[in-house]
Structure 1
Amino acid sequence: MDKELIKAHKISDEEYEQILKILGREPNLLELGVISAMWSEHCSYKSSKKYLKNFPTKADWVIQGPGENAGVIDIGGGYAAVFKVESHNHPSFIEPFAGAATGVGGIMRDVFTMGARVVAGLNSLKFGSLKGTHAKHQKYLVKGVVGGISHYGNCMGVPTIGGEVAFDECFNGNILVNAFALGICPIKDIFYAKAEGVGNPVIYVGSKTGKDGLGGAVMASDSFTQASKSLRPTVQIGDPFSEKLLMEACLELFKTDFIVGIQDMGAAGLTSSSFEMAGKSGSGMKLYLDKTPMREEGMNAYELMLSESQERMLICAKKGCENEVIKIFEKWGLDCAVIGEVTDSGKMELFWENELVGLIPIAPLSDKAPVLDRELKKPAYLDEIKTYKFELKMPAKELFKQLLSNENANDKAFIYDQFDSSVQTNTMKADGKLGASVIRVKENNAAVAMTVECNSRLNFIDPKIGAILNVANSGRKVACTGAKPLSISDCLNYGSPLNAEVMWQFAKGCEGIKEACKALNTPVVSGNVSLYNETEGTSIYPSPTIVCVGVLKEASKCLKSSFKANTSLYLLGKTYGEFAGSLAMKVQDSKVAGVLKDFDYEAELKLWNFLYEANQKGILACANSVGVGGLAISLAKMCAISNVGVSLKSGFDDEALLFDESASRAIVGVNDEQAFEALAAEFKLEFTRLGQSVAELNFVLDNINLSLNELKKLYFESFEEQIQ
C-alpha cells in the first residue's frame, strides 16, 4: 500500500506491520481507515493505557466503573446516578460553537444510552489570555464556546448547573472544553453496550449520516499547526432537537423488552460503536453499509464507517422485534434501519451492495492495539521554578481588589446566565452560588451534589500533588453542601505524548489521582484522556479535570454557601503559608512557581467527616471551601452573593496569609457556637472564630476595608468589561 496513504492515516511503520499480521494481507482503504480510527490515540488510549491501570474503581456504591459509556453509582432508594466527563478540545478550538455544542451532545448520549434521563450538566473551560495580542481571538472563542454549550443544553431541556472557567497564556493556542453530564434512573433499568445472540438484528437509529466529522478521532489525536484551520470539515455539526427526540425515543424503548444492547456513535462513529458492541460480547457482526440512512448522495463505505455525524445510536435488538423498535423511532420522527446482524464469526464483515468490501477480525484488533511505552523525562523547568518565594509587595487591600476583579476569580454571570439552570425544576444550588452544584432527586428525596475542578497552575508546578489537590478540592466542595463525596469522573488533558516531559507529567498526574482516590475513597467510575493539546510544539499546562459526585440522603439538609446577618463565621483547618502556584503570585508577580507541600489525607477526611456530622446535627448555617485567592477572596465571594457585610479578624500575624491557598480548609457559618466548638474539639479539628456577619454593608477583614457596593462592583461587573 502507498506509504503516503498510510502516513495520512497516522499509522506508524510498526503499527502497519502489526496490521499485516492481523489480516494476513495488505488492507484495503476501508480497512485501513477503520483500523486507523480504532488505533488512534483518541479511541485506543495507546499512550495512556498503561498509566490508567489500577485506578481505584470499586466501592459498595459503585454499580459500573470504567469500560462502559458512563459510570454508575447507587444513590439510594433503588436509584442510580450515571455520569461522565469528556473533552471536545480540538473541535472547539477549530470551530468553537459547533465544537462545544457537539461535545455537550456527545456526553449526553453517553449517559442516556445507559438508560438514564439526563438531569444535569457541568463544564470546565480553559482559555488563553484576555490581554495582549491573543485577546481578541480568545474573546471570540469564549463567546463561541459558551454559545454552543448553552444552545445545545437549553434546547435539550437539560439544566447546566455549574462549571469553572480559567484563563492563562498556556491555553492561547489550545483551549480546553470539557463537558460533564449526569443522569438518573432506577438501578434495574440500566442498559449496557453489547451485541450478542447469533442472528439478532443490528439497527441504526437517529439522524442520517453525512460527511461531517470525517476523521474526527484521528484529528483529535494530533497537535495543532498552522495547517489546522483546514480541519474544519472534521468538526461535527449538532442538532439538539434531533437529540431530544432521540433521548425520548430511547427512554421509551428501554421500557420494553425488545433490545439486547445499545451504543452511542461517538468518536469514530459506526466503526467504534460496532466494534465495541461485538467485542464486549465476543461476537462477530455483518454490516450492510448501503442500508445506512444517508444525508448526502454518493457516499461510500469508507465515509459511512468513519463519519462522526451526531445524534446516532446503534442497537442490538432481539430477533423478531425489529418492527416494534422501528415503530418507536418512526413515531419520534427519527430514521431507523436494520443494517446488519450478529454472527459468531468473531469478525467484522462489511458489505456494500451485497459485496464483501471489508473483513477485520474483532478481538485481534483490540488485543493487538498498540500499548506504547513512551519515554519519560522530568521537565527541566521544575528545578528553575522551585526556589521562587512569594512576598507581599503591596498593601493587602490593593492586592485584594486586584484578585477579586481578576478573570480567574470574579463572577462569570456573562457565561452562566446563558445557561438554563432551572429547567426540570430540580436544581437546588446552581452556578454563581459558589462551590458544588446540587439537584434534588424527587424519586427518593435525596440530593446529588457535583462539582468540576482543575487548577492547572498547581499541576504545572507539581503534576502529582496538583492532581491530588484537584481530587481533594472537588471532594471538599461536595462535602461543603452536606453531601458525602462518593466517586469521580476524570478528563486528563495534557500536551503531546511524543514529548517525554509531557508523558512524565501525565504519569505523575495518574499517580496522584490513584493515590488520592484510594485514600479519600472516591473511586474513578468513568473518564477520558485528551492528549496532543499543543500548538507549534508548545503544550498546555497539565490539566486533569476532576468531577466529584456525592449524595445527601435528605435533600432538605442541603447547605448553601451564603449567610444572613448576625451569623458567626469560622475558618476550619490549618493555614500553612502555601503560595506555590497561587493566584496572588500570578497576579502580583506574573509567576507560576514554587513547591507544593505533601498532601495530608487525614486532615482532608477529618474535615469532610466533620462537615457531614455537623450538618446532620443542624449546627451549620452555611459552608464554603477556601479556594483560589485564599481566605480573603473566598469570604468576599460569600459576602457578595449574600449581600451581607462582615467585620472579621483572621488572627494571622502576616497579612499575606489572607491570600494563602492551603488545602483542607473551609469557611462555615454556625447556628450554635457552643455545639460547634465542642464537636470540632471532639474531631481534633483546628478552627478560628473569625467574627460575625453584620447589618452594616461593609467588608472588613483585618486591614482590608471597603463598602459592600464597591466589593460587589469588583466581583460582579469586572468580567463583563474584560470580555467585551
Structure 2
Amino acid sequence: MTLDTVKHASQTPEAEQPWKELGLKEDEYARIREILGRRPTGAELAMYSVMWSEHCSYKSSKVHLKQFGEKVPENDAMLVGIGENAGVVDVGQGYAVTFKVESHNHPSYIEPYQGAATGVGGIVRDILAMGARPVAVVDPLRFGAADHPDTRRVLPGVVAGIGGYGNCLGLPNIGGEVVFDECYQGNPLVNAGCIGVMKHEDIHLAKASGPGNKVVLYGARTGGDGIGGVSVLASETFESTGPAKRPAVQVGDPFQEKLLIECTLEIFREQLVAGIQDLGGAGLSCATSELASAGSGGMRVELDTVPLRDSSLSPEEILMSESQERMCAIVEPDKVDRFMEICEKWDVIATVIGEVTDGSQLEIFWHGEQIVDVPPRTVAHEGPVYNRPYARPAWQDALQADDANKLARPANAAELREQVLKLVSSPNQASKSWITDQYDRFVQGNTVLAMPEDAGMVRIDEKTNLGVAMATDGNGRYAKLDPYTGAQLALAESYRNVAASGAKPLAISDCLNFGSPEDPDVMWQFAEATRGLADGCLQLGTPVTGGNVSLYNQTGETAIHPTPVVAVLGVIDDVTRRTPVAFAEEGQLLYLLGDTHEELGGSAWSQVIHDHLGGMPPKVDLDREKLLGEILISASRDGMIDAAHDLSDGGLIQAVTESCLRGGKGARLVVPDGLDAFVFLFSESAGRAVVSVPRSEELRFTDMCGARGLPATRIGVVDGDEIEVQGEFGIPLSELRTAHEATLPVLFA
C-alpha cells in the first residue's frame, strides 16, 4: 500500500476516506478539507478524528462549560484554572495543590479491570504533568442493580483494577462513593480523582515554545492497545448487544508508571523541561497538537523514531494509540543529555522524536515522507462547537408531580424499626468496607481520614501538620428530578463533607456524566446541571479549576440519570484538629444542626422501601450551607466538637448509624418537638449535620450557633450499646452491624 503522504493527498482529492468509520460527521470531514485546502492524509484524518471526538473536544458541552469561567470569579487561592491538565490552588506555606476528577466509564464496562486501572493511571499522570507529586486518589463509582449478573461481572473487576494499580503506585485511596442503580446497568460510571502537592515554583504547563527545543517521548513503548480507546469509546452510545470493543481498551503497567513518576519528579527538580504533557486520551495526537498549540505553534516530529511494542503498527495507529505510562517533554538542547541520564537511571525509555520550530504548522514525518502538515490549533483547540438543541422533557412535570411525600409510611414503631434495618442494609446505604478494604488507604503514612469518613484527608507537611481534604459527591436521583437543583445538591454535599472534617473548602473539580447529547432531553439536563453548578459555585465562592465531561452514557435509547459528580478540595492548617465521624465518647451530647423538613423526593427511603422516584429533591440554601460550614470548621478548630457527620442519603438515622458503628458507641435519641419520628429519621433536607459535643463545651458551642443564627437542636446523647429512639424502638449495635456490613460480601464475595 502506498504511504498516504501530504503530497499524495494533494494529488488525489477524490480518494475515498473512512471518515464515517472514525466517528466524524460529514460536515466535520468537509471542515477538515476546508482547513487544509485539500483532503487529509490518513494520519491527519486519524488525528482529527480522535481530537474532534466528544471526549477530547467537548464539542457538545463547550457552550455550556464557558459559564464556569464567565460566572465564577477566581479566588485568591487559584493559581492555575481551566484549560491545563489540572487546576492548581494555593494552600499556604508555599505549597500548591493540584487536583482533578476524570471519567473512564466506557472502557471500564468493556474490560473492567484494565478500564479502571488505566483510569487511575491517566489521572495520576495529569497531576504529575503539572509538576506535582501525586499523594492520594479517590474513586466515585456507580454500577447497575447490585443483584444483577452483569454488576457481578463489572464491579469486582473495577475494584480490583483500582486497587491493583493504585496500591502498586503506593498511593492511598482516601475517598469516593459506590452507588447502585439500574439506570447504570449498561453504563457504569468509573470516575477517578487524584491530588498532587508541589511548591509554587514547581508548577509546569503543557506548552511547546522555543524553536530548536527537543520533543522527547519517554515512558513505555507504544503498542496496539488503546487504539481509539477512551477518545472513541466515550463518544458514542453502547448498543444493547453488550461489550464488543476490547481491543480499544488500554492495558496498564503500574510498576512502569511508578518509575515514570519518580523519573519525572527528578527531572522537575533539576529544571530540565520547558513544557510537558502526559499521553492519555488520543495519545500522541493529543500530546503533540496540544503542546504545539499552546506554545509557539511549530513542531516537527519524526514518527518512525517512536519506540514500539509492535513493529507492524501503521503511522495512523501510532498516532491514535492510547498506550499507557507515556509522557512528552519539551527540553532545551543543552539539557537533553542530563534528561536522558535520569531516564536511564530509572530504566525509563526516552527518545528525541522531534523539535519545536519557528513555523506555525505541526509537521509529522514517517521515514522521511511528510504525512501530517496541519495548524495545531485546528486539531487541539478549534474543533467543532455544537449548540445542540435542548428542551425540558415532556415527562418532567409528571415525574415531579409524583410526590414521594405521599408514599405510605410506617404505621407503628415496629414498622419504623423494620424500615430502619432495611435502609441501613440496602446496597447503597450498607457498609462499603468489602470494597475499600481492597484499597491501601494508609500507605505513605500521611492519611489522616479515609473512607468511610465524610472526606478524605492527607497531611502534606509533617512539621506544621498542614493538610488537605477532598470529598466527591453526586446524586443522580436528585438530578433526574431537577438537574439544576441536583447539581447544587452535589456541590453542597461535597462542600459540607469537607467542612465537617474541619477543612475550609477552596475550589472544585467536576465530572459531568450524562447520556447522549443528540437527545434534546439529555442536553436540557446537561444545560440545567451546568447552570446550577456555575450558579452554586458563584454563591459559595468555590471556583471550578477544571474537570471532565462524559457523554453518551447510554445503551440504545436508555440514558443514565444525569450524574454531575462534584469534588471539593479544602485546606486545614493542622490535621490534628480534624473531625472524624465516629461517636467515641459516652456522655457526649448530640446536636442536630440545620432545619429538618418533610423532604423525601429522591430519598433513599423512597428507593429502598417503595422503589419509587418522583417528586422534588430537597431544597438548597447555599447561604445556609456556607454558614454551616463556617460553624463546623470553627468548632473543629476550637475543640468544641469531637465528631461530625453530614446528613444526606438516608437522612439522620443513616448518619447516626454510621457514627455509632464507627465509634462502637450507642446513642439515645429524642424526637424534637414539632417533628414526627419518621420525618426526623428519614428526611433528606440539605444543610444539616449531626455533631457530638463534650458537655464542657455545650454552652460555648450553642452560644456560637445562636450568635451566628444556625439552628442547633439537642437530640440525644452518646450512650450504651444500642440506638434507641425514645418512645419508638431500640436496635442493638450488634444487630445494626450485622445488617450494615453483610450486604456487599453476600452479593460479591
Q: TM-score range by the shorter chain?
A: over 0.9
Residue in structure 2 matched with residue 510 of structure 1 by the alignment: 530
Counterparts of 1:585 and 1:667, CA distance in 2: 22
One-letter amino acid of the counterpart of residue 588, structure 1: I
Cα deviation, 1:271-311, whole Å, max 9, x if unaligned, reads 10111111011321111000001011222211111100000
Q: State the SS of the aligned residue for 2:709.
A: coil
Does residue 36 of structure 1 match 2:36? no
Among candidates 300, 312, 329, match of residue 314 of structure 2: 300
1:136-184: per-residue Cα shift (whole Å, max 9, x none)?
2101211000000000000000011111000001011110000000011
**1:87 deviation in Å?**
0.1
Q: 1:150 aligns with which of 163, 172, 177?
A: 163
1:698 aligns with 2:698: no
Partner of 1:81: 97
1:113-156 Cα deviation digits (max 9, x unpaired): 1111111110010000023xxx1210121100000000000000
Determine the structure 2 residue equivalent to 1:621: 642
SS of the residue 1:403 aligns to: helix
**SS at structure 1 position matched to 2:444:** coil
1:322-471 mapped onto 2 (5 Å cutoff): 322-366=336-380, 368-389=382-403, 390=405, 391-394=407-410, 395-432=415-452, 434-443=453-462, 444-471=464-491
Confirm whether residue 666 of structure 1 aligns to residue 666 of structure 2.
no
Are 2:115 and 1:115 equivalent residues in the alignment? no
Aligned partner (choices 714, 736, 746) of residue 689 of structure 1: 714
Equivalent residues of 1:619, 1:676 under 8 A apart? yes
CA distance in 2, matches of 1:3, 1:600: 57
Q: Distance in 2 between matches of 1:151 and 1:709?
A: 33
Contact 1:452 1:545 in 2 (8 A): yes
Aligned partner of 1:587 in structure 2 is: 608
Alignment deviations for residues 506-540 of structure 1 (CA, whole Å, 9 cap, x no partner):
00010011011110111111200100000112100
**Secondary structure, aligned partner of 1:229:** coil
Q: How many residues align?
A: 719
Which one of 81, 87, 94 corresponds to residue 71 of structure 1? 87
How far apart, in 1, do the equivalents of 2:437 and 2:661 lie?
17
Shift of 1:704: 3.2
Partner SS state of residue 334, structure 2 = coil
Give identity over the alignment, percent.
42
Task: Tell me if the contact between 2:73 and 2:538 (Cα under 8 Å) persists in the aligned partners.
Answer: no
In the alignment, the residues of structure 2 paired with residue 54 and residue 452 of structure 1 have an alpha-carbon distance, to the nearest angstrom, of 21
Change (3 A) 1:363 1:159: same
SS at match of 1:243: helix
The answer to whether residue 280 in structure 2 is matched with residue 266 in structure 1 is: yes
Instruction: State how far apart, in whole Å, the 2-side matches of 1:365 and 1:92 are.
Output: 27
Q: Give SS of 1:7's match.
A: coil
Question: 2:286·2:380 contact (CA, 8 Å) conserved in 1?
Answer: no
Cα displacement (A) at 1:20:
1.1
Q: Which residue of 2 aligns with 1:529?
A: 549
CA distance in 2, matches of 1:354, 1:637: 65
Distance 1:676 1:424 in 2: 36
1:566 is aligned to 2:587: yes
CA distance in 1, matches of 2:192, 2:302: 34
1:631 paired residue among 632, 652, 664: 652
Deviations 1:27-84 (A, max 9, x none): 1211111111111111110000010013126110011111111111111100011110
Shift of 1:653: 3.1
* Residue pair 2:115, 2:250 contacting (<8 A) in 1 also: yes
| Distance in 1 (alpha carbons) for counterparts of 2:618 and 2:497 | 21
Of the candidates 634, 655, 671, which is equivalent to residue 677 of structure 2? Answer: 655
Partner of residue 11, structure 2: none
Q: CA deviation at 1:654?
A: 2.0
Structure 2 residue identity aligned to 1:97: Y
Q: Is the 8 A contact 2:67 2:531 kept in 1?
A: no
Distance of 2:180 and 2:635 partners within structure 1: 36
TM superposition shift of 1:324: 1.2
Q: Say whether the 8 Å CA contact 1:57–1:65 is kept in structure 2.
A: no
Shift of 1:357: 1.4
Alignment partner, residue 558 of structure 2 = 538
Deviation, 1:723, is 2.5
- The aligned counterpart of 1:201 is 214
Q: Which residue of 2 aligns with 1:163?
A: 176
Whole-angstrom distance in 2 between the partners of 1:301 and 1:597: 54
Match of 2:6 in 1: none
Shift of 1:364: 3.4
- TM superposition shift of 1:257: 2.7
In structure 1, the partner of 2:5 is none
Cα separation, 2, equivalents of 1:366 and 1:111: 20
What CA distance in whole angstroms lies between the structure 2 residues aligned with 1:477 and 1:372? 36
User: Deviation at 1:442?
Assistant: 2.0
Using the alignment, how far apart are the partners of 1:235 and 1:387 within structure 2? 43
Equivalent residues of 1:494, 1:506 under 8 A apart: yes
* Aligned residue runs from structure 1 range 190-339, under 5 A: 190-216=203-229, 217-226=231-240, 229-339=243-353
Could you tell me whether the CA contact under 8 Å between 1:447 and 1:558 is conserved in 2?
no
Match of 2:701?
676
Report how far residue 312 of structure 1 moved: 0.1
Q: Deviations over 1:181-204 (max 9, x none)?
A: 001111111111111100111000
**Contact 1:214–1:306 (Cα < 8 Å) also in 2:** yes
Which amino acid letter does the alignment assign opposite residue 173 of structure 1?
G
Distance in 2 separating the partners of 1:535 and 1:375: 21
**Amino acid in the other structure paired with 1:149:** I
User: Matched residue of 1:58: which SS?
Assistant: coil
Q: Letter of the 1:375 partner, please give it.
A: P
1:226 CA displacement: 4.4
2:503 matches 1:489: no
TM superposition shift of 1:385: 1.5
CA gap 1:569/1:392 in 2 versus in 1, 3 angstroms: farther
Alpha-carbon distance in 2 for matches of 1:366, 1:316: 17
Asked whether the 8 Å contact 1:22–1:365 carries over to 2, the reply is no
Structure 2 residues not aligned, in runs of 5+:
1-13
Q: Report the TM-score when normalising by structure 2.
A: 0.94
Which whole-Å deviations, capped at 9, do the CAs of 1:666-709 have from their partners, x for residues lacking one?
00111211111111110111121011111x21110241311110
Shift of 1:596: 2.9
Unaligned runs of 5+ in 1: none
- CA displacement 1:553-606 (0-9 Å, x = unmatched): 112211111122111110000011111100111111111111135421221111
User: Are the aligned partners of 2:468 and 2:572 in contact in 1 as well (CA < 8 Å)?
Assistant: yes
Work out the CA distance in 2 between the residues paired with 1:54 and 1:375: 18
CA distance in structure 1 between the partners assigned to 2:736 and 2:199 by the alignment: 46
Q: How big is the alpha-carbon RMSD for the aligned residues of Structure 1 and Structure 2?
A: 1.3
* 1:5 counterpart SS class: coil
Q: Which runs of 4+ in 1 moved over 4 A?
A: 1-4
Distance 1:650 1:625 in 2: 18
Give the superposition deviation at 1:227: 5.8
CA deviations on 1:383-439 (whole Å, 9 max, x unpaired) are 11212233343321111111000011111111000000110000111112x311111
SS of residue matched to 1:647: strand
* Match of residue 66, structure 2, among 53, 56, 60: 53
Mapped pair 1:612 → 2:640: no
2:146 corresponds to which residue?
130
SS of corresponding position for 1:378 = coil
